[in-house]
């Protein structure tokens, strides 16, 4: 179970979250409402809703917000959304996957295309970069839950594929179709996780220097500012020194 680069899969950055917390909560609420509308509004009987609620809790979303989002679906007040995936290349030839949830596909497609173009990238056809990623389930535990060997054994018994442990977290990966079963088995052994979700894990990465990272993250930030965009994933990789320099420049 080899580790994977912690910088390879850019999905969330704490500093960025703090700046756009209101917008982030809005996107989380949308996912919770849609999950509850498409399936059972009971978290215990709806794996997608369970994951959405857990993700919201891990990002400190208030319980009242979560409850309102579920009640919106139960009350029939939820809008109809289409889930769309866009693929393209960002600055430096980095592969980018954009996951959207929209009530107007034409508007969203136009905005995404324009955002890529302004950032020096190109929006491609579906599948144009998807082959550079594998769909995986990801379960995250704090380091305090146990040492690396303990978590590794629990992960193997639960049917996971990969584990990466560091001073802060244990990141456990599994096949996307096994996420519910693996996370349930892990919780029976290790307790409730910090985060359980589906991710796009790069199988090919693009290494960037500081200038490249800055250009790419301007694209990612612009995409994430759009209310229709739920998640942005890239196959960017960079050295710890470059990422530390980038973090310092962001202040």
Q: For position 129, what pLDDT does the model report?
A: 96
Q: For position 18, what pLDDT does the model report?
A: 55
- What are the tokens at 81? 């959304």
> Greater confidence, 146 or 8?
146
Q: Percentage of the chain surpassing pLDDT 70?
A: 90
**Average pLDDT score over residue span 140-168:** 95
CB atoms under 10 Å from CB of 52, counted, come to: 26
Residue 14 has pLDDT above 70, yes or no: no
Helix (H, G, I), strand (E, B) or coil at 174: strand
1 pLDDT tier (thresholds 50, 70, 90): very low
Among 52-56, 89-93, 168-172, where is mean pLDDT lowest?
Answer: 52-56
Residue 185 has pLDDT above 80, yes or no: yes
Q: pLDDT of 104-113, one tens digit each?
A: 999 999 999 9
Residue 6 has pLDDT above 90, yes or no: no
Domains of the chain with CATH codes: 14-74 (1.10.10.200)
For the beta sheet containing 122-124, the strands, ordered from the edge strand earlier in sequence to the opposite edge, are: 122-124, 82-89, 95-102, 229-234
User: ∠ CA(133), CA(17), CA(62), 5° rounding?
Assistant: 110
Reference 181, options 213, 137, 145; nearest CA is 137
Q: pLDDT of 34-72, one tens digit each?
A: 999 888 888 888 889 998 998 888 888 899 999 999 988
Residue 4 has pLDDT above 70, yes or no: no
Q: What is the mean pLDDT of the chain?
A: 88
Among 3-12, 134-143, 146-155, where is mean pLDDT lowest?
Answer: 3-12
User: ∠ CA(67), CA(28), CA(219), 5° rounding?
Assistant: 165
């Amino acid at each position: 179970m080899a580790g994977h680069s912690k910088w390879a899969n850019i999905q969330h950055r704490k500093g960025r979250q703090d700046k756009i917390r209101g917008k982030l909560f809005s996107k989380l609420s949308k996912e919770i409402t849609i999950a509850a509308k498409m399936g059972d509004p009971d978290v215990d009987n709806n794996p997608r809703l369970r994951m959405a609620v857990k993700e919201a809790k891990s990002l400190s979303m208030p319980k009242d917000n979560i409850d309102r989002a579920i009640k919106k679906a139960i009350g029939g007040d939820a809008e109809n959304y289409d889930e769309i995936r866009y693929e393209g290349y960002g600055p430096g030839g980095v592969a980018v996957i954009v996951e959207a949830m929209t009530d107007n596909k034409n508007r969203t497609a136009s905005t995404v295309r324009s955002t890529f173009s302004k950032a020096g990238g190109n929006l491609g056809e579906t599948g144009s970069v998807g082959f550079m990623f594998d769909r995986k389930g990801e379960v995250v535990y704090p380091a305090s839950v146990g040492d690396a060997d303990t978590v590794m054994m629990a992960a193997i018994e639960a049917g996971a594929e990969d584990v990466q442990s560091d001073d802060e977290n244990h990141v456990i990966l599994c096949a996307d179709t096994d996420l519910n079963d693996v996370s349930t088995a892990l919780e029976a052994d290790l307790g409730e996780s910090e985060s359980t979700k589906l991710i796009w894990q790069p199988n090919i990465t693009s290494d960037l220097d500081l200038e490249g990272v800055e250009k790419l993250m301007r694209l990612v930030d612009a995409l994430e500012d759009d209310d229709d965009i739920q998640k942005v994933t890239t196959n960017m990789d960079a050295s710890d020194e470059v990422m530390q320099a980038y973090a310092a420049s962001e202040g």
